[in-house]
Structure 1
């Protein structure tokens, strides 16, 4: 196995601790600054917790897709079948492995699963609208900015402690058919 050819599988409950660590290291704290997907400048606190991850892999129409390479878990994402479209979230790549193409492979596999296994016609995701570099990355992969926004859950520490008062989510959509 190598990063050139990661293997993909659905996460199991035994993966929850490693998934929490992976997601946290990709988005929050100093370790996240190794990669380019950090939210450390806009949010403190946690990105997820064991209960949220367990819900993502055990809920109806929901699964966590994991990528493994060289014997370890190196990336993940959550997929939800929402009847006609799929939702993509909780995407994380080990910060030390970012910028090497692994994220593109995970996104492509998630799109394949949504299209081929669920028959989804579109993939939806929400991204914090001030994350222009991240949004641009998705746009280069065929996602379209819809301009549709939803409020950031200020006051709900499960989603972090905002350092700014202008956070909101923007919906991005990509046709899969």
Structure 2
């Protein structure tokens, strides 16, 4: 019996996003990471960054990119999570991951990550999944490590000065690469 069935929750459904999903997905990503609403969940970045996490142009570009899949996750017809998958040869990149703050900690994120891994293996034959996480998000990195992701030691600078990604509240933000082999 699945975790979802044991808790008596309704099943999740997965589909590829279409242009009409862009406003809702933008709002979902913002609610999971920025502002007071994000504090209802554990993935908030509100103490590290203010301003926007993404915008309709960025989400729309991900939806329309032929080398990208924006995965939409629904429960009873309501969008509750999403993630972006990008095809990069033998690898896939995982990003723009958001779970509705009120559902965080209940297994939705774990299910989305597992479906994302299945999708990139099946759709593109990807052998590895790669992602970037703000290094200061130790709790989030630990969550990914429990799911088989490993720190590579590769660091990338945070795009200071580009408010499309938020306004940093501290001067030391940096991205760390995580990778997982897909079996």
TM-score, length of structure 2 as denominator length: 0.94
1:60 CA drift (Å): 2.6
Specify the alignment match of 2:91 in structure 1: 85
Specify the alignment match of 1:112 in structure 2: 118
Quick check: 1:150 aligned with 2:149? Answer: no
Aligned length: 177
Cα distance in 1 between the residues matched to 2:66 and 2:23: 21
Map 1:1-177 → 2, pairs under 5 A = 3-177=9-183
Secondary structure, counterpart of 1:134 in structure 2 = helix
Unaligned runs of 5+ in 1: none
- Deviations 1:42-77, CA, capped at 9 Å, x for gaps: 000000000000011111311100100022000000
TM-score, length of structure 1 as denominator length: 0.98
CA RMSD of aligned residues (A): 1.2
Q: Does the 8 Å CA contact 2:133/2:176 hold for their aligned counterparts?
A: yes
Unaligned runs of 5+ in 2: 1-7
Q: Does the 8 Å CA contact 1:67/1:75 hold for their aligned counterparts?
A: yes
1:4 CA drift (Å): 4.6
